[in-house]
Structures are given as structure tokens and as C-alpha cells.
Amino acid sequence: MSRKIHIFDTTLRDGEQVPGAKLNKRQKIEIAEQLAKLGVDIIEAGFPCSSPEDLQAVKAISEVVRGPVIAGLARAVKEDIDIAWEAVRRAERPRIHAFLGSSDIHLQKKLRRDRETALEMAVQAVRYAKQYCEDVEYSTEDASRTDFDYLCRVIDAAIKAGATVINVPDTVGYAIPTEFGELIRRLKERIPGLDHVVLSVHCHNDLGLAVANSLAAIANGANQVECTVNGVGERAGNASLEEIVMILKTRNLAFQAHTEVNIKEIYRTSRMVSRVMNVPVQPNKAIVGSNAFAHSSGIHQDGILKDRATYEIIKPEDLGIREHKLVLTARSGRAALRHRLTALGYDLPAADFERVYERFLNVADRKKEISSKDLSSIVEIELTKVPETFVFRDFQIMSGSSMTPLAAVTLVKDGKELIDAATGNGPVDAVFNGIERIVGQQGILRDYDLKAVTMGKDALGEAMVRVEIAGSVYSGIGTSPDVIEASARAYLNAFNRFFANSH
């Protein structure tokens, strides 16, 4: 009989620890609502004690998102647990998730504790959290490098103290599948109490084995997997939610396990997380990469035309990936645009539709045809914008191989046009300098990525930047058929994030 595997999504906590991917409250709620549509079992909404902003974001998610368990992370100390409970107590199904290092290197080098002291801290933390919340998860941080006998003692004590979920993390991605699966099997054999709680794993991808280790754990009895959309997370990232879900669906007989994730929402969730966090998905990423269902080989194309099963083990439409042949141009009216949006799965309120329509006309005036990918890009950027302190209006460039590039930039603030000019090492640098002169704030460009959303000379350009402003890194994204304009919109988007977070 197929076992249910609980999907614990930590995109909003571990995933948000990617440099430059800091989310505001509105963005966190938006992703959490989409995760609920996706059908994850648990949403780890944040680490409430890490900042007042994260506390407020987790509280807001707890108040508005229904369906999944809402978890808040806490160190194994009373103050953190108090704050975590304050954050999740209004949730329909709250959970406190406490953690403490268990490996000798964590105990000695990070915590400066001996094993017995740490064991007592674990017990006290679970008991204290249990006073607030029936559902308490306890994580033995760095479990894969922990002495086995001591790990058993900690887990057994946490269960007896009242933990309902025990999480065994491969915190630094050190394990390999055979030994990690064996660890889970041995724990279940040694600790009878594990049969009465949820046994979870949380694997990092430092050696590229996060998904493989998670699957090995499932095969040996784990029934919860902690993962993130697109595999985002600390360092090399976490186990990829979409890969785990689709492996269990595609190879169900091999694992005798399943999830209750709504796979038709996978692609939309992936794109939302990528754009809101400004973390691009690599083209060859399994399941959700842009090339995941692309076929260039003549032999492959011939096979696909005869029977898609020859080279596709997953139907892209099952994941919510749709491609339509209806051609949109600048002459297309609102009715045609709304028809295409509906076909793509977007049901936009009137105000949002008008914003998308105006941006659609702006792009369509300079591009012959608007494809489904172009339109999805326009919609998602327009609907994930931060409040715009400054609005992009126009730019002019004078540049050449034998002259210093000069850019004149026009922005709008509170209905007033602001114009300034600047030089730079190139036209993009000149536009960036002009933006800085108008907004009155300097930035340091830490990362710059430019790609085409579609094929052809008139492809929609998509720029992604990370900019250090006043000591913090902010991400920005912009699109346009003109790559300089796309770059300018992305750079201004990063400054608008800065100003939004400063208020």
C-alpha cells in the first residue's frame, strides 16, 4: 500500500536565505498562498526571532493562509519559542519547529556545550513548546555527522518530551544516499518511539545529493521531506520539491509512496518563486527548466511527433506548462488579451488587468508578436512589483566606439517628472549612473544577468540584478525588447525594493 509522504516546504525560511532574495511581507504572503494552492502539507513561514519584519510576515501568513500547517522556526531557547508561538498561534494548524546542533563539531565549536547539557536543552525546549502547541517538531541539526548512539539518545528524549515530528537533517550536504538511508533504517530499528511520530528529513545539496538522500530516507521509512521550490536555499540549496514530488509520482511502484501535491500548480509556483526571489532557474533544471521539455535532435523530434512517450516520461501540461499558438500583437484588443490570459490560467481583477494591458501595449509596440512566455513574463513581473517610489518613464543614449556614453534618464515620483544625465563606461553603466543621480542613492552592482525570454531578434529581454545599497543587497528584475531599458527597469526595481524596506 502506498504511504503518504508529507511535503514540508521551507522556501520562505531556508530558501529565503539565498543572498539578495530577502522577501517583504506582501511577497511572503503571495508565495504562501500559492504554496497552499500547490497543496503542500506544511509551510515553514519563517524564522520569527530573526527580525521584527519576519515575525510580522509569519503572523500575517498564519492569519490568512488556510489548509497547510504553518510552522515557525526557533532555536532551542525559551525566548525564540515564545516569539515563534506569537507568530503562528493564529494559524488554523500551527507548529513550533525547534532545533539544536547534535554533532560534536556543532556542540564544541558553535554552541560551546557538552553533550549532556545539549540533551537537556533539547528536552526542555520540546516541553516548553508543548505548553503552547500540540504540534512540535524537533530537529537534530547536523544529524548526519552526529555520533549514532548520542543521536538516538537525543531523539528518544525529544519524543518522550512530547515531540510529534522528529527531523533528521543532513545540514551540510555531507551524506551519500546509501549511508543516509541506512541511518534512517537504523534509527527506526533502535528507537521504538519513531513509529508513533512523523520522521522527517532535511537534506542540503552541497554535493548535489539532496534529492537522492531524501529518496533514500523515504525508502527506509521517512514520511516527511523538507524541501524548497526550485531547490533554493543556503549555499548549494535544498532538496527540490518538484523533483521529489514528480519522482514519487512517476516511479510510485518503486517507492510505494505518494504526495498530495497538486502537480498542475508546479510550474506556476516555480516561476513565481524565481521571479519574486530573483533567483533564475537553470535551463536544464529537471521538471521546471526551460529546456526540460525541449527537443532539438532530429531523431528525438521524429519520435515525439509519432508518440510523445518515446522521449517524454512526464506530460508538460500535467505540470501546468502550456504553449498556445494564438498570436498577440499591438493590434490585439483587450478581449484577445484576456482570452489568452484565461487560457494561460490567469484570472486577473480589473485593476491588475489594466496594468498588464498597458505594459503589453508598451512591449507589443516594439515586438512583432507576443508569445505565451512573453505574456507570462509581463504578467508575473507586473503582479510581483514592489511599491514604486520612482516609476521608469524614458531614457536617451548617446554612445559609440570612440565616445564616452551619455544617458539622459526620466523617472516619475509623485506625478512629477525627474530628469538627469550621466556618463558611464558603457550605455548600461551610464543609465545606472543616471538613475542613481535622480534617486539620490548610490548602489554597487553585485550581479547582472541578461537573457532572452523567447527566440528571435525581437525577443523580450529579461534583466536580473543584485545591487548593494546602504550595506544590504536588493534584487531587481525588468523586461523589455530593448536590453538597455530592461537593465534600467531592473536596476530601478532594486532601488524601489530598498525604498520600500526603508519605510
Dihedrals φ, ψ of 368, to 5°?
Answer: -60, -45
Q: Does position 301 have pLDDT exceeding 50, yes or no?
A: no
Q: What percent of the chain has pLDDT over 90?
A: 68
Q: Could you give the CA distance from residue 145 to residue 148 in angstroms, rounded to a whole number?
A: 9
Helix axes 52-64, 25-38, angle to 10 degrees: 40
Q: Across residues 102-125, what is the average pLDDT? A: 94
Q: How is domain 391-502 classified at the CATH fold level? A: Double Stranded RNA Binding Domain (3.30.160)
For 44-82, write each residue's pLDDT tens digit.
Answer: 999 999 999 999 999 999 999 999 999 999 999 999 999
The predicted structure's pLDDT at residue 66: 97
pTM: 0.74
Q: Could you give the CA distance from residue 462 to residue 451 in angstroms, rounded to a whole number?
A: 5
**pLDDT band with cut points at 50, 70 and 90 for residue 305:** low
The predicted structure's pLDDT at residue 231: 97
For 165-184, write each residue's pLDDT tens digit.
Answer: 999 999 999 999 999 999 99
For 465-492, write each residue's pLDDT tens digit.
Answer: 989 999 888 888 888 889 999 999 999 9
User: Would you give the distance in Å from CA 47 to the centre of its chain?
Assistant: 15
The predicted structure's pLDDT at residue 316: 80
Q: Across residues 103-124, what is the average pLDDT? A: 94
Q: Could you give the CA distance from residue 374 to residue 192 in angstroms, rounded to a whole number?
A: 55
**pLDDT band with cut points at 50, 70 and 90 for residue 152:** very high
Q: Could you give the CA distance from residue 29 to residue 477 in angstroms, rounded to a whole number?
A: 20
Q: Across residues 201-218, what is the average pLDDT? A: 98
For 273-287, write each residue's pLDDT tens digit.
Answer: 998 998 989 888 999
Instruction: Give the SS3 label for residue 290.
Output: coil
Q: Does position 158 have pLDDT exceeding 60, yes or no?
A: yes
As its CATH architecture, domain 3-277 has: Alpha-Beta Barrel (3.20)
Q: Does position 367 have pLDDT exceeding 70, yes or no?
A: no
Written as one letter, the residue type at 326 is: L
User: Would you give the distance in Å from CA 423 to the centre of its chain?
Assistant: 37
The predicted structure's pLDDT at residue 327: 54
**pLDDT band with cut points at 50, 70 and 90 for residue 297:** very low
